[in-house]
């Protein structure tokens, strides 16, 4: 399988190169030459998530230097499960729990797979490679955990000071060793702009070799397909019907993975995007022109995205706009509704969800009220304990901490202050 930029159909690179680069040189996003299809019978019905991943991703790595290592990469990345759990409220309502990894959010799957790929790639340069990450919360911690103490690699995280949850901030600052957290006096967009400027700065790169780990990397997108395939295949074997998904959405990376699984011919039914007050996608799917805009801050902060970075990939996947609008729906949920949803599900069903997951839970409530009886899986993108400052006042009790999170919160944390200026990051990296 060969890969090209969404903006150039004439130049092709192998998957290793696309993963190492992240973004294509022309500013486009890497996509496969064509999406492969796969027979559900190709999967081992008794396989674990790592086995499903290795079978699913094999066609994407065919012919590449990493192809032989793919099963080992999957075994290393997928060391925890993504359980599909029935919700008590309705027999065909399910929760796909993606928060059982080391940093309690779904970003762990992609970050760990990317790290497992990068550490197998030969580098000519003997100097350490610095991985720059701009994060609105969960990505930075997942990348830090995945690359912590990896020889030859260093992680520098930029996050907007005061705009991530206190526990997210603690997670970002608690690794140490080869991981450094910088709290930027600005917004997420500032962090992203500073990282982009550094990556495009050739003079800086000559002194400090840099790479990135943002959500447009195929090394993060492809592994995210695995849990959708695993859940849908399991459901289909047992019930003989496709499984439908509601995906909390920001940059569209998680939902894109779900749509690619469906496009490969696996038993995924309808896909709904649940967004917070950032309504770029809901407006587009309601018929407006695509209009990226500045993000607004919400209590589902990891979805505070005004210009979803995977939109170009979505358009490549579905070139016919009218058809795309038929195939996919997106809805915006405001903070007040997120709060109500968290409170109500805790009271009525003893089910506590994070603010991101609550956007999808609300959509499920709407579908059920309208009489929809399809099997729906709400995608739970993070553990509610990461957002205790939002969740606990709504449910009047503490959220039990997952063991990994308790361990991290027990370590000391520190982050350096940085001005929201490109020059400040440059100087910091060269110091």
Ligand X SMILES: *Cc1c(COP(=O)(O)O)cnc(C)c1O
List residues binding ligand X (CB under 6 A): 105, 107, 138, 215, 248-255, 302-303, 356, 381-382
C-alpha distances (whole Å) from 73 to each of 124, 180, 425 are 22, 26, 33
CB 308 within 8 A of CB 251: yes
Give the nearest distance from C-beta 248 to ligand X in angstroms.
Answer: 4
Cβ-based nearer residue to ligand X, 180 or 215: 215
Q: Is 157 helix (H, G, I), strand (E, B) or coil?
A: strand
Among 266, 267, 294, which residue's Cα sits nearest to residue 279? 294
Whether the Cβ atoms of residue 250 and residue 102 lie closer than 8 Å to each other: no
Shortest distance (Å) from residue 251 CB to ligand X: 3
Q: Which residues pair with 248 in a beta bridge?
A: 274
3-state class (DSSP) for residue 85: strand
- Quote the DSSP letter at residue 399: P
**What is the rounded CA–CA span in Å between residue 155 and residue 128?**
10
Q: What are phi and psi of 140, to 5 degrees?
A: -60, -45
Cβ nearer to ligand X, comparing 117 with 255: 255
Strand partners, 245: 271, 377
The least CB distance from residue 96 to ligand X, in Å, is 12
Tell me whether residue 193 or residue 383 sits nearer to ligand X (CB atom): 383
Q: Which is nearer to ligand X, 129 or 174 (CB)?
A: 174
Cα dihedral across residues 229, 235, 239, 241: positive or negative: negative
Kindly tell me which of 98 and 179 has the beta carbon lying closer to ligand X.
98
Q: Which is nearer to ligand X, 283 or 421 (CB)?
A: 283
Q: Which is nearer to ligand X, 107 or 167 (CB)?
A: 107
Residue 255 or 415 having the CB closest to ligand X: 255
Minimum distance between the CB of residue 62 and ligand X, rounded to whole angstroms? 26
Per DSSP, the chain holds a count of helices (H) and strands (E) of 18, 14
Of 150 and 278, CB closest to ligand X: 278
Report CA-CA distances (Å) from 416 to 9, 40, 424. 43, 49, 12
Q: How many Cβ atoms from other residues are within 10 Å of residue 86's Cβ?
A: 13
Q: Are 268 and 325 in contact (CB under 8 A)?
A: no
- Using alpha carbons only, what angle is made at residue 179 by residues 379 and 383, rounded to the nearest 5 degrees? 20
Residue 275 CB, nearest distance to ligand X (Å)?
9
Q: How far is the CB of 126 from ligand X (least distance, A)?
A: 34
Q: In angstroms, what is the minimal distance from the CB of 218 to ligand X?
A: 14
Q: Least CB distance from residue 108 to ligand X, whole Å? A: 10
Nearer to ligand X, 272 or 422 (CB): 272
CB neighbour list of residue 207: distance below 8 Å, 6 or more residues apart: 430
Closest separation in Å from C-beta 314 to ligand X: 11
Shortest approach of ligand X to residue 179 CB, angstroms?
A: 18
Closest CA relative to residue 103, chosen from 145, 73, 68: 145
Gap between the Cα atoms of 123 and 173, Å rounded: 28
Give the phi and the psi of residue 317 in degrees, each rounded to 5.
-70, -35
């Amino acid at each position: 399988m060969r890969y090209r930029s969404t903006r150039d159909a004439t130049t092709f690179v192998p998957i290793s190169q696309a993963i190492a680069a992240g973004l294509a040189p022309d500013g486009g996003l890497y996509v496969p030459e064509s999406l492969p299809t796969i027979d559900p019978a190709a999967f081992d019905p008794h396989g674990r998530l790592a086995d499903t991943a290795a079978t699913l991703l094999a066609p994407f790595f065919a012919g590449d230097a990493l192809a032989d290592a793919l099963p080992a990469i999957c075994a290393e990345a997928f060391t925890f499960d993504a359980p599909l759990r029935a919700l008590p409220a309705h027999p065909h309502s399910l929760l796909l729990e993606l928060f059982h990894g080391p940093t309690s959010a779904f970003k762990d799957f992609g970050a760990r797979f990317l790290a497992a790929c990068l550490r197998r790639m030969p580098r000519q340069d003997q100097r350490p490679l610095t991985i720059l990450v701009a994060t609105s919360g969960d990505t930075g911690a997942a990348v830090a955990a995945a690359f912590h103490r990896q020889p030859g690699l260093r992680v520098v995280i930029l996050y907007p000071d005061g705009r991530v949850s206190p526990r997210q901030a603690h997670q970002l600052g608690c690794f140490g060793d080869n991981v450094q957290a910088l709290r930027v006096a600005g917004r997420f967009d500032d962090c992203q702009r500073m990282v982009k400027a550094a990556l495009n700065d050739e003079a800086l790169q000559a002194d400090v070799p840099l790479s990135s780990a943002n959500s447009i990397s195929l090394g993060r997108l492809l592994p995210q397909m695995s849990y959708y395939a695993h859940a849908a295949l399991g459901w289909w074997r047992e019930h003989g019907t496709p499984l439908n998904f509601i995906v909390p959405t920001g940059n569209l990376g998680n939902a894109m993975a779900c749509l690619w699984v469906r496009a490969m011919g696996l038993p995924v039914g309808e896909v709904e995007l649940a967004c917070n007050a950032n309504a770029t996608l809901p407006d587009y799917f309601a018929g407006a022109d695509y209009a990226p805009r500045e993000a607004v801050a919400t209590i589902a902060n990891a979805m505070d995205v005004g210009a979803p970075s995977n939109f170009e990939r979505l358009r490549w996947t579905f070139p016919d706009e009218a058809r795309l609008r038929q195939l996919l729906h997106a809805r915006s949920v405001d903070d007040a509704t997120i709060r109500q949803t968290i409170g109500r599900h805790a009271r009525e069903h003893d089910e506590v969800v994070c603010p991101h997951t609550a956007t999808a839970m609300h959509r499920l409530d709407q579908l059920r009220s309208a009489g929809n009886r399809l099997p729906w899986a709400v995608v739970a993108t993070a553990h509610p304990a990461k957002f205790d400052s939002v969740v606990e006042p709504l449910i009047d009790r503490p959220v039990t901490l997952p063991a990994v999170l308790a361990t991290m919160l027990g370590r000391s944390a520190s982050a350096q202050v940085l001005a929201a200026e490109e020059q400040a990051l440059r100087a910091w990296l060269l110091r």
